[in-house]
Chain A
Amino acid sequence: METSTSRRKLFNQLMKILGLLGLGLSLVILLTLIFDLIIRGGSRIDFNFLTSFPSRRPSEAGLLSAWVGTLFVMLITAVMTILVGVSAAIYLEEYAKPGPMSRLIELNILNLSAMPSILYGLLALGIFVHQFRLGASLLTAGLTLSLLVLPIVIVSSREALRALPPNLKEASFALGATRFQTLIYYQLPSSLSGIMTGVILALSRAIGETAPLITIGALTYIAFLPKSIMDPFTVLPIQLFNWLSRPQPAFHVNAAAAGVILLLLTLSLNLLAIYIRIRVRKSVKW
């Protein structure tokens, strides 16, 4: 090298500082946006806000139907993804023979994880809403979101199953247990935390999805709580979008408040997943 060592070292320091600046700046910008949201919307949140229905008067409008709707939709999504996602992971890890078919399945899962969410909405519109005539109901929402987040659950569950040491499985077979019994009595319970992490991450993704639900027709004025799975509904992100679309600035404050709640829920779910992951890593001593 012809350049002097001190010049190269200086350049090195410069690049390091530049990189740290980039990192710092990005973090600062994102955190500023979040703090701005909290400042604008935080004070609007009180007991009334959480227990009132939407209203034409911004000061009386609240999130009740939205967060209850979110709760129900998440419940349905969780059940569906556990039933289907874990099953798919079990098949891929335990039963499938490596070959073109399983490669195709894995390819599909990978592809689906990078699909725009609005396309799931179109699929749901064509099949659930019109073919199956389920309408813009809680059930449709749950089904749509389950399909959307299925790849997340499948991948996490597979990793959880794969992380189990094979010797315990072989010991189980040696004792005469069938594949299925080994699964039910040993593998699933042991990989539960990994599976749960996957479901929680899936829910944290599903909770903020707006586009597919708008597409199936969920954007209406809902001032009641759903009583059955076929009822119309609304969810937090849609209520946010609704208030944001209104020109009165007081509604924008409501939107900010809804955003704070949504952010809190998403963050909590993510932190929960991280916490479980850390605890598992610490406690597992095979």
Chain B
Amino acid sequence: MQREEIAELAVQKIADVLGVDATEVTEKTDLRRDFEVDSLELMEMGARLEQAFGIRLQVEDLVKMDTVGDAVTLLEIRLGVPA
């Protein structure tokens, strides 16, 4: 899976939690600053990403996500995509 594919699916899952169209979310989107995401919503995003990508994410990883790009990078690592 290439970064672009990961990003497209991750953006969709994150937008679902935010209740907005996927076009309103980019890798630069800052989850806390732009959408005031709280810890419960980060957990929900994590759950949806785990389901979509078939992997496990740690809560400590989730709380370190500031931007959607951070989430994509985290997924790349967990999916074992070579940098």
Asked whether A and B interact, the reply is no
A residues apposed to B, CB below 8 Å = none
